[in-house]
Amino acid sequence: MKLLVINPNISESVTTLIATEARLSASQDTDITAVTAAMGVAYIETRFEALIGAYAVAEQIAQNLPGHDGVVVAAFGDPGLMALREALPVPVTGMTEAALSTACQLGSRFSIVSISPRMRGWYLDSVHSSHLSSRMASFRSLNERPSSVATVQQDQSERLIEIAHQCVHEDGADVIVLAGAPLAGLARKIKHRLPVPAVDGVSCAVKQLETLVRLQPNKATAGSYAGVPVKPNQGLSPEMQAFIKAAALLN
């Protein structure tokens, strides 16, 4: 199985974190191709940056999809996830959706632990998009945006552990979701220090994608996830044009 894992922001250091955790989580016969958005910002923490990230992911897919059995959108908030699920002939998963789906099979209520207070509102919106707000115990984060996303998980691991304990003891969380690609891999490092299971978006997205690929669901040809209809377009890259033409052929 060959999976395309796309970092929707432009930071190669974050792609490295993602790729490492993806490979640690993947089954032995799974190959991971990790790519970085060619356009966008260093780190996505707002809805607007996610808008750009969604388009950047689509471009990466248009260029890199052939030969892959599934796609991971590797940023929390899942930029473009539903749209890509519609257009792609293969399954696609996202870090938030996969983490929540997994967490909800480990307990009744989850808390999200994030590296930046700015994400609070947008993450609440993301959880609402998954219709799982009523299973959310709380959102907690570091008090300040970290100076370096590449090293935040080392720099702040003690503080993040403390926050996770508050989620359990004060907010009633049964599961902790460590949110955001910069925390990729942290769950496996600190889980023995937490009193409840902790899940990581990257590993959940990879494992959930492996499941979807193995189940070999057929591509929808009716309903709202059928391929995109054929219609005139303009101003798109040649790769995107080819991709849209292919998506239309799915119908």
Site residues (CB under 8 A) for its own copies, limited to 166-185: 168-169, 172-175
Mark the segment that binds its own copies (CB under 8 A) among 15-23, 43-51, 151-159, 178-186: 43-51
Identity of the residue, 23 or 197, whose beta carbon is nearer to its own copies in the bound complex: 197
Angle at 187 between CA 138 and CA 37, to 5 degrees: 90
Identity of the residue, 7 or 93, whose beta carbon is nearer to its own copies in the bound complex: 93
- Confirm or reject binding of residue 64 to its own copies (CB under 8 A): no
Site residues (CB under 8 A) for its own copies, limited to 204-233: 204, 207-208, 210-212, 214-226, 228-229, 231-233
Q: State the minimum distance, in angstroms, from the CB of residue 154 to its own copies.
A: 20
Site residues (CB under 8 A) for its own copies, limited to 107-146: 107-109, 118-122, 124-125, 128-135, 139, 145
Q: State the minimum distance, in angstroms, from the CB of residue 66 to its own copies.
A: 18
Cα torsion angle, 118, 121, 125, 128, sign: positive
Cα torsion angle, 245, 213, 53, 77, sign: positive
Residue of 3, 43, 72, 153 that binds its own copies (CB under 8 A) = 43
Residue of 65, 142, 161, 236 that binds its own copies (CB under 8 A) = 236
Cα torsion angle, 83, 87, 91, 92, sign: negative
Per-residue tokens: 144: 């300040």
Per-residue tokens: 47: 């809805």
**Phi, psi torsion values for 154, nearest 5 degrees:** -75, -50
Angle at 109 between CA 175 and CA 190, to 5 degrees: 10
